[in-house]
Each structure stands twice: as structure tokens, then as C-alpha cells.
Amino acid sequence: MIELGAAARKLWSLRPDASFLNHGSYGACPIAVLQVQQQLREQMEAHPDAFMARIEPDSPDHAVRDVADSLAGFIGTAGTQIALVENATTGAQTVLNSLPLGPGDQILVTDHQYNSVRLAAEERCRKTGATLVVAHIPLPTTGSEIVQRVLDAAGPGVKLALLDHITSPSALVFPVEQLVSELHRRDILVMLDGAHCMGQIPLGLDSLGADWYIANAHKWLYAPKGSALMYASGGVAPLTRPLVTSHFFAKGFPDAFDYVGTRDYTSWLSIPAALNFFRELGPERVWNHNFRLVLAGSDAMINAGAVPASPIELCAAMRAFILPQKRPAIRADAASLMALLWNRERIQIRCTTLGGNLLLRFCAQAYVGEQELQRLAEALQRHGWPNRA
Ligand SMILES: Cc1ncc(COP(=O)(O)O)c(C=O)c1O
């Protein structure tokens, strides 16, 4: 079994002269999984008709349904509750478009929401006359504060809550079990955006009880880009329709999502290979390795003057830090710090602003070694950051 950390890096094609501490944004697909995808592409181009026939939900081979079944056990649900979509952005818009909304209805989000999902919610509000309610979660924060802030905003008009399971800029694992049950008590439907979750943390979707759950396979599950899933519970599955109407639209959820026109389905079909890769590395082993990195990286970052955005209990394999400044952060601060760390240090990392804070988020991963996080902290000590307080 390969040692995790720097030794595992050769399983990926990431350029060798840099540190990649931003797995969360786009994922990184291992060489072995890309080879499987390449073989699938060769099969597709060798006999397009036979290949595409297998994608259709009526096919006796059920290629897409087989993928859903292979994922289902890993995330605690049944294959019939899962549709495949291209990415979390598509999944979130699918939910927004599926739910009838009108004037007087409200959609609840937080100010940590991923930007494209928030924009999609705003657009849906413009089209339907619904309004957006944004729960503000100040940083640093805690689990009980997150619950309080969300529930304070969950008034009687709220029909749908769109919540991140793990937030993007602030890397917070929301207390979703408690949030789902409290929101359901208020008759509010819940869509959890788990774009970062599948592969980063253990998942049990049926027991979690969200109405919809969106998860990327191309981030932490190591699948090729363009692979994600949408879970719909029995109650909302009949409402849930694909954004694209195609031949099997009338079949409803999930079959209507399987074939959505001629496109490259090889990312979806490579998901079982990604799952095998992850199982060979050992999910528990990867999660333990990542958490050890988060702990070691946190010590180094705190020594460099950074302030954790939350207690460690709200962290999985990523952690965000506030970089204290003399004035509220502006977007150019984040861009210039990312550029500096890349240009001067060859460190790829995500830096953003949220609520006037300059946030730096590092991601652990099977291919990241502890010394890379030490190097990050040393670089911050050496160069500082814009308007450092
Ligand atoms: C919370 C969250 N939702 C949605 C997305 C969008 O994912 P994708 O670009 O795969 O659609 C991201 C991407 O980082 C995310 O962090």
C-alpha cells in the first residue's frame, strides 16, 4: 500500500514543481482513473452507436444505472435515489427549477453560499417573484451560532433552504443533521450542497434526511471532471426534472437524467474506477491523513499570525483562516496574495474575501505532505499579506 503524502504524488499528473493546496476547487483526477476514461473514450469512438445505446435508461446494460448503484452503498442510499449530473452547479439549478415558487415564497441561503448557487437562486427568484433571504454568519463562528443564525432567518415564508454541507470560502462543516431536522419541523424543504463532501467525509444520505443532496464526484472522490450526483428523497423525486428535456424525459427521476443528448458520458462511467482507487488508498486512511495535516497545518498557520475561521470540530480536510488586516478586505487583496504565493513560491491555494475578511483556505489530500503546509506558513511569514494588521 502506497505511503500517503509526498510519496503518493506520483499517482497524479500534477506538475512536480509546485504545491497543490487547493484540491477543493476543482479536484485532481489520478492517472489510473484518467486511463480508464481514455479507454472508455476509445470504445466510444470505435463504435459510437453501441456505446451510446448503453447510456439509454432502456438499455439492458444500464451503464448509467450501474454507476448509480455502485455509488449508492458508499453514500448510504439506493441507486434509484440518485441521478447523475455534470456538476454541483447544474444539480443546484435543477432543484431550483423543479420546485414551484411564486410571489410570497422565500428561498433561504447563507452568506457563505457558493457564488454560482446563490446567483442561480437570485435568478430563480427574479423569474418567479419569490425572494431571497440571506442568513449572515459572522467569522469566526461556531456550530451553535450557525444553527441559530439559519433558524433565525427561517421565517414562515421560507419554502426552500439551500445550505452548504461544507462551505467553500470558509471550509465549515455545517451541523446539517440538526439543521435538516429543525427546518423540516418548520415545513421547509432542504437542499444540501455537498459539492465538497463525497470522499471528504463519510456520508449517509438516507439517514441525513435532506430532500435533495448534491455532490461532486470530481472533487474528493477523484473522478474525472464533469461527474456529480443529485439525490432526491422519495417525497420530492416526482417533482425533480432534468434541466435538459430529452428522449426519456417522461420517465421521471432518475431515468430522465441518464441520457441528455449526445455528449461525453465517460466521466460518469469512470466513477466506479475512481471509487476503486479511493477504496485501494483506504477511505479511513485518507481521512486520518488529511485530518493530521489539517492539525499540523493549523499550528503552522496560527504561528504565522492567521486566525482559524472556526473551531477544529467544524473542519474536515480543509481549513480556512482569517488573515487580519488594517481595513476590510477587498477582492484585489485575495487575488494579489494568490498570485504572490504562486509566482514566488509555486504554492497553489485559494484566497477569498467574505464579510470584509481576507480568507486563506488550505486543502489536505492524499498527495499533500506536512512539509508543504510548513512551507506555506513560512511563505506567509516571509511575505505577509496585503494590509497586514
Ligand atoms: C459549495 C459548492 N457548491 C458548488 C460548487 C460548484 O461546483 P462545480 O463547479 O463542480 O459545479 C462548489 C465548487 O467549489 C462549491 O464549493
**pLDDT (tens digit, 9 = 90+) per residue, 102-127?**
999 999 999 999 999 999 999 999 99
For residue 349, the CA-to-ligand 1 centroid distance in Å is: 16
Secondary structure element (H or E) that encloses residue 361, with its range: strand 357-363
The distance from CA 42 to its chain's CA centroid, rounded to whole angstroms, is: 30
The best mutation among 25, 109, 168 to test binding of ligand 1, ranked by most ligand atoms within 8 Å of the C-beta, falls on 168
Give the cell for residue 387.
494590509
Mean pLDDT of the chain: 97
Cβ atoms of 196 and 168 closer than 8 Å: yes
Q: What mean pLDDT comes out for the span 36-52?
A: 98
Q: Is the CB of 233 under 6 A from ligand 1?
A: no
Cβ contact 309:139 at 8 Å: yes
Q: Which atom of ligand 1 is nearest to the CA of 91?
A: 11
Indicate whether 1 pLDDT > 90. Answer: no
- Binding site membership of 221 for ligand 1 (Cβ less than 6 Å): no
Quote the cell numbers at residue 159. Answer: 419554502
Is residue 117 in contact with ligand 1, taking CB distance under 6 Å?
Answer: yes
Res 319 pLDDT > 90: yes
Residue 250 C-alpha cell reads as 417522461
Atom of ligand 1 nearest to the CA of 113: 1
For residue 277, give the nearest of 223, 217, 227, 229 by alpha carbon: 223
Specify whether the CB–CB gap between 40 and 55 falls below 8 A.
Answer: no
pTM of the model: 0.98
- Residue closest by Cα to atom 7 of ligand 1: 88
pLDDT digits (tens, 9 = 90+) for 246-276: 999 999 999 999 999 999 999 999 999 999 9
Contact status, residue 236 vs residue 94, Cβ threshold 8 Å = no
Q: Is the C-beta atom of 113 inside 6 A of ligand 1? A: no
C-alpha cell at 255: 431515468
112 Cβ closer than 6 Å to some ligand 1 atom? no
